[in-house]
A and B are shown apart, each in its own frame.
Chain A
Amino acid sequence: MPRVTIARNILAANEEIAADVRRRLAAAGVRCINLMSGPGAGKTTLLERSVARLRGQLAVGVIEGDIETSLDAERIEAAGAQVVQINTRGACHLEAHMVRDALETLNLQRLDLLFIENIGNLVCPAAWDLGEDLRAVVVSTTEGDEKPAKYPQIFAAAQVLVLNKMDLLPYVDYDPERVCTQALAVNPGLQIFALSCRSGEGLDAWCDWLLAFTSKRSVTTARETPYIMGGAGS
């Protein structure tokens, strides 16, 4: 039986679109962060607080991914950001074509920083490049402290880890040291922030870092992490 070579990454179509998104954002001078977490870790609240604190210093846009509803987009918009809602109607992660379409409704010339809030899921979002400059994972003290060991891929694919809901530490059995040790074992280069969106503790350091990240034009990009799926050997 004759064989015909294909030699193509399964995710190649997504990666081509992600590269296009990355070019368009770079041309407009917009820095982009893909924010990932399990459901309920506090991604939307972190964005609300960040947008409110950075108002007047950074023009922030948010692409809000949810399976259903525009509840999160309404919260972010109220905090003062340009927002586009994507409803995936059941899909468990965002793909690059959804982000490319969402860019059409944003005024990129008026943005400094764009967040993509991924679907609440610690598994699937790790494999899809969305054209971001950097990936951040949020975990919270109410989730249990074994997440990096149980879901290593997403921690390996990120550059930043945020530990949220630190104000609840006295009331929960959660060892932040353990989480950091596990996360650094799969990704020694992770930058870690511990904060509470509720009390505001740690938000200054996070927002200072966002300002520095946005003003930099060349830091480690998402493409340089070792665990972009389909990367090795291709």
Chain B
Amino acid sequence: MHELSLAQSIIEAVEARAEECGVERVRAVHLRVGEASGVLVDALQFAFEMLASLSPTLTGARLTIEITPHRAWCEPCARTFTVMDFVARCPTCGTWSTRILSGTELQILDMEVGADGEQGSQE
């Protein structure tokens, strides 16, 4: 959809946090992204790598993305279910009285930091 814009926002938020904490080098950035958020993970990775290479703080930083499933809570059945194709209707009782629990997140969780000369952790 608009991964370059998202990557730009991530870089700006990380640079601001790094400056606030006196961090010289960011080695990795961790995100939580919902499967229904519309984000193309590959495109976001690509855009992040490109923009990170232009940032002295983020050059070479890795981006790790935790994908959350699209889940909802059915009040009458008191149980959770997987939302298929954005239809948040309980598959058991058919009610629409449901609440989205996860799947639309676009969160920057945290970052791994280190001074120049240190190696980033490998996964």
Give A residues with C-beta under 8 Å from B.
1-14, 91-93, 95, 123-124, 126-127, 149, 152-153, 156, 185-186, 188, 226-234
Q: Kindly provide the distance from the CB of A180 to the nearest chain B CB, expressed in whole angstroms.
A: 14
Q: Is B12 an interface residue (CB 8 A)?
A: yes
Q: Is B113 an interface residue (CB 8 A)?
A: yes
Q: Is B82 an interface residue (CB 8 A)?
A: no
Q: Which of A7, A127, A152, A230 interacts with B86 by CB under 8 Å?
A: A152
A77-B44 Cα distance, complex, nearest whole Å: 39
Q: Is B51 an interface residue (CB 8 A)?
A: no
Number of B positions contacting A (CB below 8 A): 48
Give B residues with C-beta under 8 Å from A.
1-2, 5-6, 9-10, 12-14, 17-18, 21, 23, 27-29, 31-32, 34, 36-38, 68, 85-89, 96, 99-114, 118, 120-121
**A95 cross-chain contacts in B, Cβ below 8 A:** 5
**B104 cross-chain contacts in A, Cβ below 8 A:** 226-232
Closest 10 CB pairs of A and B: A152-B86, A230-B106, A10-B106, A186-B86, A1-B112, A232-B104, A6-B108, A188-B96, A185-B87, A226-B100
Q: With A123-B38, A149-B85, A229-B38 known to touch, is A10 a contact of B108 (CB < 8 Å)?
A: yes
Q: With A153-B36, A229-B38 known to touch, is A2 a contact of B113 (CB < 8 Å)?
A: yes
Q: Are A3's CB and B110's CB within 8 A? A: yes
Q: Are B6's CB and A10's CB within 8 A? A: yes
Q: Are B111's CB and A232's CB within 8 A? A: no
